[in-house]
A and B are shown apart, each in its own frame.
Chain A
Amino acid sequence: MRLILSYIIGLIFGIGISISGMANPAKVLNFFDIAGSWDPSLAFVMGGALIVTFIGYRVVLKRPAPMMDSGFHLPTRKDLDLRLIGGSALFGVGWGIAGFCPGGALPALGTGRSEVLIFVGALVVGILAGKLLQNAMTRRSAQTA
């Protein structure tokens, strides 16, 4: 039951991404190209997603626990650090170069296009490299502390 629900939720996300245009790098890059062939569609994706999530989370997170787990798995950190800002800034550079973000690319794999497979392959290698870098940074800060 848990896995069937997870699949259906992934499917809803994948259909949403596909319809919205987030799986299409030409559209994504045009959203950011205000000085050129600007396509404001992505603001509507973000708007639609945020309205539904904002309201839905208010209702769901009032409950003591989710239906199939003993508690909500929510990030608790509130501090702003260089790793958060630098990592996010770096993500934007990559997004601007390739036009795919992870949430756009994973559903796009289903179109069978080789370009998506190439991007996701590089993404997976990047995530592994990021983990190594993160471990090295944590070790270093533990030594200096």
Chain B
Amino acid sequence: METAFTPFQSLGGGALIGLAAVLLMATLGRIMGATGILAGFMQPANLSDWSWRAAVLAGMITGPVAVLLLSGSMPAVEVPVSTTMLIIGGFIVGIGVTLGGGCTSGHGVCGMARLSPRSIVATVAFMITTGITVFVIRHVIGG
């Protein structure tokens, strides 16, 4: 499935992701990592720890609706994989980000911006294996 190259939207969207990361650090002093926020929401330290995570997650989930209200259309979610692959992929992602201690937002954006050696190594590791996995699925198995 072809997708259009969108440098300006992607750069602007990325800048907003960065703005959210900076604001969360400036106010609550927390890393804007989806994995960390979700995992802490599932097993919070206390009520006040749970409540800010719940509020951030609620904000995230209303993002697409805000885009719908502002632009008139819901952001595209095109899923070119089967339900089985979504389930297997989701499960593997869950184990991986837990052991690895972060994902694209936590390691890839916040950790890299802090020049954390662990985050740089983690980001290189998952970018490589994602690329290999896509290549194998699309061009070795599928090709």
Residues of chain A lying within 8 A (CB to CB) of residue B1:
26, 30, 37
CB contact between B93 and one of A10, A78, A91 (< 8 Å): that residue:
A91
Contact at B101–A32, with CB atoms within 8 Å? Answer: no
Contact at A127–B42, with CB atoms within 8 Å? Answer: yes
CB contact between A67 and one of B27, B65, B99, B110 (< 8 Å): that residue:
B27
> Counting CB contacts under 8 A, is A142 at the interface?
no
Residues of chain B lying within 8 A (CB to CB) of residue A119:
86-87, 89-90
Contact at A23–B64, with CB atoms within 8 Å? Answer: yes
Among residues of B, the one whose C-beta sits closest to the C-beta of A99 is B81
Q: How large is the interface on B (under 10, 10 to 19, 20 to 34, 35 or more residues)?
A: 35 or more
Contact at B125–A92, with CB atoms within 8 Å? Answer: yes
Residues of chain B lying within 8 A (CB to CB) of residue A86:
99-100
Q: How large is the interface on A (under 10, 10 to 19, 20 to 34, 35 or more residues)?
A: 35 or more
Residues of chain B lying within 8 A (CB to CB) of residue A30:
1-3
Task: Provide the B1-35 mask, 1 if CB < 8 A to any CB of A, else 0.
Answer: 11111110111111111111111111111111111
Bound Cα distance from A53 to B99, whole angstroms: 24
Q: Which residues in chain A, 109-134, are within 8 Å of chain B measured between CB atoms?
A: 109-111, 113, 115-116, 118-131, 133-134
Contact at A94–B90, with CB atoms within 8 Å? Answer: yes
Task: Provide the B114-143 mask, 1 if CB < 8 A to any CB of A, else 0.
Answer: 101110011101111111111101110000
12 chain-A/chain-B pairs, Cβ below 8 angstroms: A6-B24, A13-B21, A14-B61, A27-B3, A41-B9, A53-B22, A60-B22, A84-B122, A88-B96, A88-B123, A98-B85, A121-B90
